[in-house]
Amino acid sequence: MKLGMYGLGRMGGNMAVRLARHGHEVVLLNRTRAVSDKIHAEAPKSAVVDDLEALVAALPSPKVIWVMLPSGDVTEKAIETLGNMLSKGDIVIDGGNTCYKDDVRRAKILHAKGIHYVDVGTSGGVWGLERGYCMMYGGNQEAVDHIDPILESLAPGIGDIPRTKNRGSNLNPRAEKGYLHCGPAGSGHFVKMVHNGIEYGMMQAYAEGFDIMRMKGSDRLPEEQRFDLNMADIAEVWRRGSVIPSWLLDLCADALAVDGDLSKFQGDVADTGEGRWTIEAAIEEAVPAPVITAALFTRFRSRSGNTYAEKMLSAMRFGFGGHVEKK
């Protein structure tokens, strides 16, 4: 299939290459021409264009354009512009980290013009080129059917992962290949958002566990109560036969094998929106989500020095007990 790929950063560039390797013709557009040229060299049968007009002109109808830009204003602007350039039956795909509420809004606007909007939540990070991308997408049936060949090429496929027991024929066979039509526009990014929320919680669970084990050897405890544990070996042993193996644990083991002290990591942990939106969704639904929330708050706290809240605690303690707190 011939399609346009707009945005060739770490994600978009690798996806274009993977698509080209699977025989698709990818028309490449990036803010910086040099990046397009670099991807072009790796992507058979690809072409490079310099602006949106040229991108649209290069594609047969129905035109398919995959937008893979930083979420927020940049993507918003791109979708809006494309909405004014495309025609009935064309398909715009947003593969970035958009909030699902924006998808719902955009799809409605584009729908009025007969343009299809497909939101694709994409997981896989820097590993996707080789492993494939797990994709959760939303949009109408006609549009997602049309782009199925692209999605299948990007997806990891069934691979050597054991099949789920009792999985019946009533379930969607694409899910086993690592891509899934979740529902109408917005539902793809919604499921991807929850995926990230779960990711936050799992990461925090491991992080707490390793912290508790490491501090068991610290002078916060009387010497006779300490254990001096080897974090790298523990991460490793859990990878085989325990209840908690996972890809995230593999990554812990990788990092700890290099340096059990993790001394090159500072620990100011970023967050990219999905965790916040997951909690917002939980609150809208009145669903308790204490673990995902605690994981997000830990990240917030990690990025600042002592907070105003903590100073207020000290102020109260000074008020009732004359306590003066110093490091």
Q: Which of the residues 208 through 267 are near a second copy (CB under 8 A)?
A: 208-216, 218, 220-221, 225, 227-230, 232-258, 262, 265-267
Nearer to a second copy, 84 or 225 (CB): 225
CA nearest to 94, candidates 114, 74, 112: 74
d(CA 119, CA 91): 11
Q: What strands, in cross-sheet order, belong to the sheet with 116-123?
A: 47-48, 25-29, 2-6, 64-67, 91-94, 116-123, 134-138, 179-183
Does 49 sit near a second copy (CB under 8 A)?
A: no
SS3 28: strand
Write out the H or E segment, with its range, that includes residue 320.
helix 308-321
Q: Stretches 26-34, 84-92, 140-148, 197-205: which one binds a second copy (CB under 8 A)? A: 197-205
Per-residue CA distances from 238 to 38, 205, 206, 246, 257 (Å)? 41, 14, 11, 9, 14
DSSP string, 102-140: HHHHHHHHHHTTT-EEEEEEEE-GGGHHHH--EEEEES-
62, burial (CB in 10 Å: exposed 0-12, middle 13-18, buried 19+): middle
Q: How far is the CB of 196 from a second copy (least distance, A)?
A: 8
Nearer to a second copy, 41 or 171 (CB): 171
Of the residues 63, 177, 192, 274, only one is catalytic, namely 192
- Give the per-residue SS3 of 196-211: HHHHHHHHHHHHHHHH
State both tokens at 191: 């499921």
Among 34, 51, 112, 322, binds a second copy (CB under 8 A): 322
Q: How far is the CB of 171 from a second copy (least distance, A)?
A: 5
Does 109 sit near a second copy (CB under 8 A)?
A: no
Q: How far is the CB of 91 from a second copy (least distance, A)?
A: 20
How many residues touch a second copy under the rule CB under 8 A: the total is 156
Among 30, 158, 169, 223, binds a second copy (CB under 8 A): 158
Does 295 sit near a second copy (CB under 8 A)?
A: yes
Among 44, 83, 149, 184, binds a second copy (CB under 8 A): 184
Of the residues 76, 152, 176, 199, only one is catalytic, namely 199
d(CA 55, CA 100): 26
Q: How far is the CB of 185 from a second copy (least distance, A)?
A: 10
Q: How far is the CB of 115 from a second copy (least distance, A)?
A: 21
Residues in the chain: 327
Among 61, 127, 142, 145, binds a second copy (CB under 8 A): 127
> Is residue 2 flagged as an active site residue?
no
Does 312 sit near a second copy (CB under 8 A)?
A: yes
Does 323 sit near a second copy (CB under 8 A)?
A: yes
Q: Which residues contact 275 (CB under 8 A, 6 or more apart)?
A: 196, 197, 200, 292, 295, 296, 299
Q: How far is the CB of 38 from a second copy (least distance, A)?
A: 17
> Is residue 38 flagged as an active site residue?
no
Q: How far is the CB of 97 from a second copy (least distance, A)?
A: 11
Among 96, 110, 194, 274, binds a second copy (CB under 8 A): 194
SS3 54: helix
Nearer to a second copy, 18 or 63 (CB): 18
Interaction pattern, residues 7-46, with a second copy; x per rule: CB under 8 A: ---x------------------------------------
Q: For strand 116-123 and strand 47-48, is the pairing parallel, antiparallel, or unpaired?
A: unpaired
Catalytic residues: 192, 199
